[in-house]
Amino acid sequence: MQYAVLGGFCVAAMAPLLYRWFGARTAGVMALLPAAIAAWLMAQWPTIAGGGTLWREWAWVPGLDITLTFMIDGLAWLFAMLITVIGTLVLIYSGEYLHGHRDLPRFLVVITAFMMSMLGLVLADNLVALFVFWELTSITSYLLIGFNHTDPVARKSAQQGLFVTVGGGLALLAGFVMLALAGESWSLAELTERGEQLKAHALYAPLLVCVLLGAFTKSAQFPFHFWLPNAMAAPTPVSAYLHSATMVKAGIYLLARLHPALGGTEAWVVTLSLVGALTMASGAFLAIQHTNIKKLLAYSTVMALGTLTMLLGIGTETALAAFVVFLLGHSLYKGALFMVAGILDHETGTKEVTAMGGLRHAMPRTALVTVVAALSLAGLPPLVGFIGKESMLESLLAAEHHRAVILPMAFFAAFLTLAVAAIVAIRPFFGGWRETPRTPHEPPGGMLAGPALLAALSLLFGLAPGLLDSLVGVTVAGIGAPQAEVHLALWHGLNLPLVLSLASLVLGALVFRRWDRLRSWLARLEPLMARGPEAGYEASMRGLTRVAEWQTRFLQNGYIRNYLVMTLLVLLGLVGHALLMRQTPNLTFALDLYLHEALVAGLMVAGAVAACVMRSRLAAVAAVGVMGYSIALTFVLFSAPDLAITQLLVETLTVILLVLVLFRLPRFATLSTPIERLRDLVVAGLSGGLITLLMLAVLSGDRLPRISDYMVANSQPLGHGHNIVNVILVDFRALDTLGEMFVLALAAIGVYAMLRFHAEEYEARNASRIWRGDNG
Amino acid sequence: MVRSGTLILNVAARLLLPLQLMFSLFLLLRGHDEPGGGVIAGLVAAGAFALYLFAYGRRALEAMLKVSPRDLIGVGLLLGVASTLPAWWHGQPFLTAQWWTIPLIEVEASTPLVFDIGVYLVVLGSVLTAIVALVETDDDA
């Protein structure tokens, strides 16, 4: 299984090559990959249906307890199946939709990579692996929303989607760390068995907040819903796949997966059901204000995501069963409807439903598919959407918390959704014929096959819901109701949910009839809408830019003296704090000093003082050199030849470098005010004092075990060397040295680039005046 | 301009360069047991080339070096990373030192030595890159 996913990334990378071989048929060829995975999953169905779980162990970073183990239970199977089947159809569809597009290979690379990331996300058992795949879906989604990168709207929407989902991803990371700490495991399978321990843990509240933030941003829950409709700037296959059927359900998947571990508490139930209900209602309400078919569908996706969250919040057996049916039904009809939206856009050249009409004559087959899928969206019999909606209403009637709030909202959402379905199915295809920018006719078979199959499945599962019993049963078992007996049926008898459905049918029809007038009335709410959550996002982005500008002016101003002061102050604050908190400074020390040692120390101090007061740079450099050589002498006196040699050489080379630099500096001048110099004096004095205290603490402390004893004892037996310094550098602490090598190399490249570009600029300025030939 | 043009410096640089380079190699190879090692040896070699640079100028140095100092950095980093790999072969943790005795001449070879040569080249390359870059801009000015 891991080979399939990781290999899938390789296939994604090979898309440009495949495009060279297969040309326009590449998308179809690449669709074989998800199709094969789907077939494999189908072959595993007997095991899954028997309540079994497939494990594929794979160590990744064993030292950190991070694995790439895949686990396929009912929930994972359902999601993996949706991802691969709809993925196959979307790939075939996009081959036609983007036919002849010059960036088709790039599109295939990203969408296949997304598919594999999503697959990894739902199969991963390890929190870290899940998080990695989670972020990969955010990044690929960003690339896909911004696919038309010449369009500023697409770029802005892509950035918005990325910021919202990745921001939530950061919260999720924190949540996962806390989850692993509280549950003492990184494995989801183990965590779901430790629900009691997690819920009783002190970290439960903060970890729940973080995990929910991650899931809510990803799944476009209120107030983070605004990025999803904007993501419709992506090509339509992307909207059909990422932003309705799969990626936005990642958050829902996570909530479902963690339901046994975290669910059932009051915080969980109240937050999820209220946020979900609010999202559901606001999604449905916002949908009917739009005439762009993709926006209509996007807001109805927001509504569906809210419904799913709400059902997880309620968490009873019926609610969980409704959750699974609704999830499946939504993926089927919404995938189909988005693909139809793409067909309409492709064939008519417009996305406005008000600009289309009477298309059933030109595209009868498309019309049929649309009507079937829209019936499912509306929640009308005999489609799977009806079963989903009925069981949703049934579980709401039995809900324990906030029924009085949730039920009206669900009813409100239900009739508005019905109106949306009617708008999408009736407006473009029925009524009088309208001229559109392009002359419409039936789309190519590859484009219609996907929606047709999905619509047919909606109908099949609606007519024979018994087919779903065992799938819903094992999925619900994975979410936390192991003993659930699920029997889905189209006809439940004349009960309250059916009455509610009938009422919503009437109201929905009314809304559809009055839609145009309703819209113009709602347009008056525009100023209020402009202050919604998206305005908050815009404001925070502006704030971010302002902070960046401020800190660039204040901290990153390019003056090395300011960087130095900042660095020293931070060092003083952190080290000084730690030192004074943990140690009482011991200022008594025995001073037995030989004359030559005192002389060297005096030389050092004199060099330092001289360097500060000299009025000539060359003299200052020499004074610094005197100080450096005195330090080298100290090393010699205390028998550290390696350090002494290094110090001497570094001093020599420093003098050389400084002299070279001095050539290029302007005349010596006093630029700093007395106050600034006083500040520098204070900072320098404090730094010196801190180092002195540090030295005293090190020398007086017996509480710190001496690390050098180990080095001395083991240098020869383990490191095969008598020179301890060298053995430490190249063996015991070789990783540090390796890091330092890279730092040194980067510094050298930085110096080179800085001087070189400066020189080139200079040369470019003089090029017109002097021709010097090739002198590099 | 930093080219000195004095006879004494020119002759001294020419005579000292081979000596200094030999000394740096000596420091490098004995570093594991006696004072020395890659860092020190690299600094000595850099000093030697810097002296030559001051005596004869940048072009003369480049003509003698044949390779760019920046390439030395690259090779050094490669050696440093390469020395981490043999441990992998034996299934030992990253960077575990490996020791071999070359059969005929009875010399001990080891990954720390390869690593140290990498350090030597990085130090030499970095210092020379900086110095040559500074001299180069002087040339242009």
Overall average pLDDT of the A90-106 stretch: 89
Pairing of strands B99-102, A70-72: unpaired
How many CB pairs below 8 Å do chains A and B form together? 151
Spatial contact of A622 and A628, defined as CB atoms under 8 Å apart: no
- Cβ within 8 Å of B, A 625-654: 641-642, 645-646, 649-650, 652-653
Q: What tokens appear for A697 in the block? A: 């603490």
Asked if A734 lies within 8 A of B43 by C-beta distance, the reply is: no
Span A307-334, mean pLDDT?
92
Q: In the prediction, which pLDDT does B103 show?
A: 74
User: Number of C-alpha atoms within 13 angstroms, CB side, residue A404?
Assistant: 0
Cα B37 from Cα B58, distance rounded (Å):
28
Nearest CA among A184, A203, A207 for reference residue A194: A184
pLDDT at residue number A412: 92
Can you tell me the mean pLDDT for A73-83?
93
A110 or B105: which carries more pLDDT confidence? Answer: A110
Q: How far apart are CA A460 and CA A384, in angstroms?
A: 8
The string of pLDDT tens digits covering residues B89-136 is 888 888 788 887 777 776 677 888 899 999 999 999 999 998 888 887
Is the minimum CB–CB distance between A746 and chain B shorter than 8 Å?
Answer: no
* Higher local confidence (pLDDT), A757 or A568: A568
Instruction: Name the B residues in 64-93 with CB < 8 Å from any A CB.
Output: 70, 73-74, 76-77, 80-81, 84
pLDDT one-digit tens code per residue, A602-642: 999 999 999 888 888 888 888 988 999 999 999 998 888 88
Strand partners, B100: B109
What's the rounded Cα separation, in Å, for the pair A536 and A538? 5
H/E run at residue B102: strand B99-102
Given a cut of 50, whether residue A422 has pLDDT beyond it is: yes
Element (H, E) at A363: none
The pTM assigned to this predicted structure is 0.77
Tallying the residues shown for chain A, one arrives at 776
Instruction: Indicate whether B1 pLDDT > 50.
Output: no
- The ipTM estimated for the assembled molecules is 0.90
- CA-nearest residue to A747 within chain B is B126
Please give the pLDDT value at position A83: 94
Rg over alpha carbons for chain B, rounded to the nearest Å, is 18
Whether residue A438 is predicted with pLDDT greater than 60 in this model: the reply is yes
Helix (H) or strand (E) holding A769: none
pLDDT (tens digit per residue) in A334-385: 999 999 999 998 888 888 888 888 888 888 999 999 999 999 999 888 899 9
Q: Note whether B40 contacts A664, CB cutoff 8 Å.
A: no
Identify the sign of the CA torsion A262, A268, A271, A272: positive
Question: Mind telling me how many Å the CA of A640 is from chain B's nearest CA?
Answer: 9
Instruction: Give the DSSP letter of residue A705.
Output: P
Measured CA to CA, the distance from residue A748 to residue A743 in angstroms comes to 9
User: How far apart, in whole angstroms, are the C-alpha atoms of residue A675 and residue A432?
Assistant: 82
**Residue A771: pLDDT over 50:** no
What tens digit of pLDDT does each residue of B31-76 get? 888 888 889 999 999 999 998 988 888 888 888 888 999 999 999 9
Q: What is the pLDDT, as a whole number, of residue A773? A: 43
Q: What percent of chain A has pLDDT over 90?
A: 42
pLDDT band per the 50, 70, 90 thresholds, residue A775: very low
Pick from B2, B32, B61, B99 the residue to mutate for testing the A interface (most A CBs within 10 Å): B32
d(CA A407, CA A404): 6
Whether A491 has its CB under 8 Å from any CB of chain B: the answer is no
Query: From the centroid of its chain, how far is CA A380?
Result: 37
Residues A647-667, mean pLDDT to the nearest whole number: 83
Chain mean pLDDT for chain A: 87
What average pLDDT does this structure show over A577-583? 82
- Which band of pLDDT confidence, cut at 50, 70 and 90, is reported for residue A759? low
Structure tokens at A187: 């494995």
Least confident of A335-339, A375-379, A584-588, A658-662: A584-588
CA distance B123 to A721: 22
**Confidence check: pLDDT of A82 > 90:** yes
pLDDT of residue A127 exceeding 90, the answer is: yes
Residue A423's alpha-carbon distances to A226, A427, A430, A717, in angstroms, are 22, 5, 10, 82
What pLDDT, on the 0 to 100 scale, is given for residue A299?
A: 93
Rounded to 10 degrees, what is the CA torsion of A414, A417, A421, A426?
100
pLDDT score recorded for residue A593: 80
What residues in B contact A725, CB-CB < 8 Å?
37
List CB contacts (< 8 A) between A745 and chain B: 73-74, 76-77, 122, 125-126
Neighbours of B70 (CB within 10 A): 17
* Structure token pair of residue A455: 């619509």
Cα–Cα separations (whole angstroms), residue A149 to A108, A153, A157, A463? 16, 9, 11, 44
- Round to whole Å and give the CA distance between A671 and A13: 56
- In chain A, residues with a C-beta closer than 8 Å to the C-beta of B135 are 660
Amino acid in the structure at residue A101: H
Lowest mean pLDDT among A93-102, A481-490, A538-547, A674-683: A481-490
Q: Give tens-digit pLDDT for A162-181.
A: 999 999 999 999 999 999 99
